[in-house]
Structure 1
């Protein structure tokens, strides 16, 4: 049974750009005239709506002024496991989609998509509770053959994982070097290698990725 067979659907449109939310609203209203729609422009607002409203489908951007939505997906899953989540974002699907799927999203859609694909994605979310583009489908198939793709943390060596965990606990290069009795520049080198393997740019992204793949 599809989601839309049961009742009118309630959407959460979460993006810090009002034009994106408005565009999604128009598409949803074209597909379904009987929908309730809430909006959010920060991660904090997303969590507030999820906690206080009965949301069926949440369409969420990847990046907000107050952080990356990757960090709240496990919390949404814990609070309301029945919510279907579509990540709608401008970040690169080929390198990022599996991170979000693995963290609890039911679909991933690029903002670069044509209007008909966006409409198709929303229809799939409404009917089946998920949307996997051809790109993401290929990534998932590849991840079955190579589990390291689905959980990027598993790419790290035991030593790299140990150091990554220390970073997430708030320790800096010098503190980690002292704890492990190695030179500070050794830790800096390992940090650079961790970032390259995980395709991230900073400690905040590392913390989010570690939390999402516990």
Structure 2
């Protein structure tokens, strides 16, 4: 699929192994995506890259020498809510995928995946802003079969849940921005994101979810 005529996208490749980063670069070149590539080898570099650049898609490892990326996913979402995050890792998907998605990731992919699946995940992150693998889909289905369905609100990150509660309590964008000491457009972006995750269109539907 040729995406070379699409506007330039900025990708952040964050992994402490340079060979992994280079492999992803080869795949992006193969997909002919018009892309600017930033790289990070540890958590601190990853955070700095997000703070100083407007990143469309971040492909991030789960573990770095200086920590676990799950601990700073909420911070990344707060710094730039529009950045889409794909966790690309060697840790077990069955035991970890939902934890990372609940923490703020938009997708989870195993490094053991075939090349075509990795390419598909990248394309899904660009087009849909998320990637749910067949393994993660299976986890969600199993939770339903076991009689333990995930409530829609469990899909929200900590910051998204905080803002959702404030909307449900009657606060507006400006009030929320002032109380949390963040920009009003950041609040608006997070609102769009949580509405998309919850598949709702207005505050009334949000309040109904909290009642459930």
Counterpart CA distance in 2 for 1:5 and 1:80 is 25
Alignment correspondent of 1:49: 49
CA contact (8 A) 2:6 2:34 kept: no
CA contact (8 A) 1:143 1:149 kept: no
Aligned length: 149
Q: Which runs of 5+ in 2 are unaligned?
A: 155-212
Deviating runs (4+, > 3 A) in structure 1?
Answer: 3-6, 141-145, 147-151
TM-score with structure 1 setting the length: 0.65
Alignment correspondent of 2:79: 79
Residues 1:18 and 2:13 are matched in the alignment: no
Alignment of 1:102-113 (within 5 A): 102-113=102-113
Task: Give 1:147 deviation, angstroms.
Answer: 5.2
Alignment correspondent of 1:146: 148
Between 80-89 and 29-38, report the one with greater CA deviation. Answer: 29-38
CA contact (8 A) 1:14 1:46 kept: yes
Task: Give 1:87 deviation, angstroms.
Answer: 0.2
Q: Which runs of 5+ in 1 are unaligned?
A: 152-214
Counterpart CA distance in 2 for 1:10 and 1:148 is 33
Alignment correspondent of 2:160: none
Alignment correspondent of 1:89: 89
Alignment of 1:57-68 (within 5 A): 57-68=57-68
TM-score with structure 2 setting the length: 0.65
Between 13-22 and 141-150, report the one with greater CA deviation. Answer: 141-150
